[in-house]
Structures are given as structure tokens and as C-alpha cells.
């Protein structure tokens, strides 16, 4: 029996500020549009995987059902940091692949507009000093008002550590800012991005410094948004219309990893080993290599993160991320376009929606439906997300034959 899985329908809402909509509203919008995109209904679904960080304890998936159709199917409420959306999709994929149903729906949604810096809950930045507390209080870094164990501080360290390890002697601040310049440029072609503004290198470098070397435009934009996908088995897909079959996108690999044991410091999350492991497994599962990819949507929660993930996803030789970027390969017209959507820095980062939204971008290029930002002739793409805690999701997608 053919156990291939396909994405039949997929959508994302406009990312940004939606003060008149809560998570259920945004999730319902994304879910209904994904069903319509696939030409199916809620009655066809055999499983629902619903990702949301803020309302998981209240049974977000069950709340969502009441809006989109309460049909008695199993509901999985998924929480896995920034990898929540990708994990929800993988949950639906596993249910279909196991033969429990032939179609499933995955949804990821978040209300984060105005949330500010996500400080991780280790201390209260009420005054001018930061006081560590809680489980990690004894080992948490104490420099700065919010502490460097928060996401901005962590990924600033990750990027600078990479440059130190590989003896980079250039201007780090400007080099990282150029990555952000690329992503903000790409976002001008994405009408669903939270920010569509072209930003010059001078504007990016001159903005508020969050955690050196990342200024505000170099950080992911917390916002509201939802994304959803319908997955279907190969056998069921054969019974659908030729148009549905033509637009279906094959999921050649779906991989989820967590932190392995590593010798050394256990405080700073090892985002590198985590991602390299996921990428290695995904390439093997899909039977492709980095050179086969036509585009990549990776988790650029900060400009520093994008650079290290070039290496972690094996888009370049080990230690060669700076040279790879400076070659121009990652621009939309380059040899390996990265974050054509504008990335998290411009498209936005409603945490639980991001994993599916990254896949949405790749799917639209493989379908030839990406409009002005279309990568011509795209047949294979990779989507990547990482959540501290830690979890990494990598999906490799292929155009239907």
C-alpha cells in the first residue's frame, strides 16, 4: 500500500494586528479556507490537530470545532513552542499514515500583537535590574535588564558564537543587518506579510538595539495570525478530481527532533545540533539533498539565527555560512532563495501559526501560485522551524507528478 502523504489544501491568514478577532476566529478562518482550498469539507476530516500556546489548557481544538464543525473526530491540542504548527501538521500526517483516517486537518494560530519581547518567564523586568528566579534562577545569566537567557539574548549569542568559531574577521553587525535587508526586501512582494516595507541597511542598523547584533527590524515580529493545512493519503487522493491531484503537494519528509545530549553547557540551547539532526533525517527520508532544493523557508527568528541555519540545514559547507550569504545565493534571484516570504522578521511570527505558514509559502511556489515572488520552475522545497525548549521541525515538499 502506498503510504505517501500529500497536502491537499493549505492557507494562511493575513499576519498582523487583528484586535477584533481572537484565536478561535483566526483559527476558524484559516481552517475553513484550507478546506475550501482543498475542495473538501470538515465532514471529510478524520482527525484535527490544533496548535495554540495561549489557550491549550482550555481545549483550543474543541473550541475551534464549535466554529468549524463538531463531528466527533479525535482532537489533539498541540503545544511545542515555536514548532507548534509544524508539530500539529506532523500529528495529522502520522494519523493518516497510520491508516486511522484518510484525511486530516492541522491548524496553528496565535494572538501576539503587542506582546513585546517574549522574556521566557525567568524573571520580572520591573526595574532597571533583572532578578533571576524559578527553576533556572541559579544558573540563568544575569547581565542586562531582561537577562540573556531570553530569546533575543540567546540567539544573539548563537550567531556571535558561530562567527567566533569560524574566525570571521569582518564587520558582524553589518553582515547580519544585510540578512535582514534581504528579508524586508522580499516581504514587499508578499501581501499577507505583517510588514511590507522596504528597509535600507542604514535604517536597519540605526534602529533600536535589542540584543547585539540584532536591532528591532532584525527580530521576528510578534503578531496575530493563523494557518491551516489539509493532508490526504495517496490512495484517497487518487479518488479525487484531476485538479485536486494536480495541486496536491507531496510531503516527502516530515521530521521532528528534540535536544540530544551534548558534552558541555546545558543552559544555552543547542539549536545547531537539533537542526542538523532534523535536516539529516529529512534529506534521507526524502531521498534528496540540499542541492535539489529550489527554495527554503527557515526559522529566522533573528537575523543571527538565519545565518547559522544555512549551515545547520547543509545549504553550505560546514563553517561556510557567511561566504554562502555574501555570494547572493539566498536572495530571491539567487541559487538558493531563502525566506522569499519575508521570513519571520517581516512576514511575522504568530508562534503557533509559523510552522504551517512556512510550509504554505513553499507549497505556493511548487503549485506555481506565488504571484510576483514566484520561484520559476520550483519542484522541491524545505520548510524549517525551531522552538526553544527545544523542538525542530523540518518538512521537505515536492511538486505533484
Q: How many CB atoms lie within 10 A of CB 191?
A: 11
Residues whose CB falls within 8 Å of the CB of residue 135, separated by 6 or more in sequence, listed in order: none
Contact 144, 129 (CB under 8 A): no
Of the residues 82, 101, 219, 316, only one is catalytic, namely 82
Residues paired with residue 106 on neighbouring β-strands, in sequence order = 49, 229
Reference 214, options 129, 311, 301, 143; nearest CA is 301
Q: DSSP labels for 71-113?
A: ----EEEE-BTBTHHHHHHHHHHHHHHTTS-SEEEEEEEE--T
- Return phi, psi of residue 112, to 5°: -130, 5
Asked about 82 being catalytic, the answer comes back as: yes
- Among 18, 184, 299, 349, which one carries the catalytic annotation? 349
Instruction: Let me know if 349 is a catalytic residue.
Output: yes
Q: How far apart are CA 192 and CA 187, in angstroms?
A: 9
List of residues 6+ apart from 265 with CB closer than 8 A: none
φ, ψ dihedrals at 51, nearest 5°: -105, 125
Residues classed as catalytic: 82, 349
Amino acid at each position: 500500500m502506498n503510504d505517501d502523504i500529500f497536502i491537499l489544501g493549505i492557507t494562511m491568514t493575513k499576519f498582523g494586528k487583528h484586535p477584533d478577532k481572537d484565536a478561535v476566529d483566526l483559527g476558524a478562518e484559516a481552517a475553513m479556507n484550507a478546506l475550501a482550498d482543498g475542495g473538501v469539507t470538515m465532514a471529510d476530516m478524520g482527525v484535527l490537530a490544533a496548535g495554540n500556546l495561549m489557550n491549550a489548557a482550555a481545549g483550543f481544538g474543541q473550541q475551534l470545532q464549535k466554529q468549524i464543525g463538531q463531528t466527533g473526530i479525535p482532537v489533539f491540542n498541540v503545544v511545542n513552542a515555536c514548532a507548534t504548527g509544524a508539530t500539529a501538521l506532523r500529528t495529522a500526517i502520522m494519523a493518516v499514515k497510520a491508516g486511522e483516517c484518510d484525511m486530516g486537518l492541522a491548524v496553528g494560530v496565535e494572538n501576539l500583537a503587542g506582546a513585546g519581547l517574549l522574556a521566557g518567564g525567568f524573571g520580572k523586568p520591573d526595574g532597571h535590574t533583572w532578578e533571576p528566579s524559578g527553576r533556572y534562577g541559579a544558573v540563568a545569566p544575569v547581565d542586562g535588564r531582561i537577562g540573556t537567557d531570553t530569546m533575543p539574548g540567546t540567539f544573539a549569542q548563537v550567531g556571535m558564537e558561530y562567527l567566533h568559531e569560524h574566525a570571521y574577521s569582518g564587520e558582524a553587525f553589518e553582515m547580519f543587518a544585510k540578512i535582514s535587508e534581504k528579508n524586508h526586501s522580499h516581504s514587499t512582494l508578499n501581501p499577507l506579510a505583517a510588514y511590507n516595507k522596504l528597509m535600507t541597511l542604514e535604517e536597519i542598523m540605526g534602529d533600536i538595539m535589542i540584543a547585539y547584533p540584532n536591532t528591532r527590524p532584525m527580530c521576528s515580529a510578534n503578531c496575530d495570525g493563523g494557518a491551516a493545512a489539509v493532508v490526504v493519503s495517496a490512495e484517497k487522493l487518487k479518488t479525487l478530481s484531476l485538479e485536486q491531484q494536480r495541486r496536491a503537494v507531496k510531503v516527502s519528509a516530515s521530521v521532528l527532533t528534540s535536544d540530544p545530549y551534548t558534552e558541555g553547557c546545558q543552559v544555552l540551547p543547542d539549536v545547531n545540533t537539533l537542526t542538523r539532526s532534523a535536516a539529516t533525517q529529512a534529506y534521507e527520508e526524502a531521498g534528496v539533498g540540499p542541492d535539489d532544493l529550489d527554495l527554503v523557508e527557515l526559522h529566522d527568528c533573528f537575523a543571527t539565527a538565519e545565518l547559522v541555519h544555512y549551515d545547520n540545514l547543509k545549504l553550505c559547507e560546514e563553517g561556510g555560512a557567511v561566504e554562502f550569504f555574501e555570494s547572493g545565493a539566498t536572495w530571491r534571484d539567487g541559487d538558493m532563495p531563502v525566506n522569499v516570504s519575508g521570513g519571520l522578521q517581516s512576514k511575522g511570527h504568530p508562534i503557533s501559526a509559523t510552522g504551517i505558514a512556512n510550509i504554505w509559502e513553499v507549497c505556493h511556489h511548487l503549485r506555481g501560485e506565488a504571484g510576483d515572488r514566484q520561484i520559476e520552475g520550483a519542484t522541491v522545497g524545505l520548510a524549517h522551524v525551531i522552538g526553544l525548549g527545544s523542538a525542530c521541525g523540518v518538512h521537505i515538499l515536492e511538486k505533484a507528478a
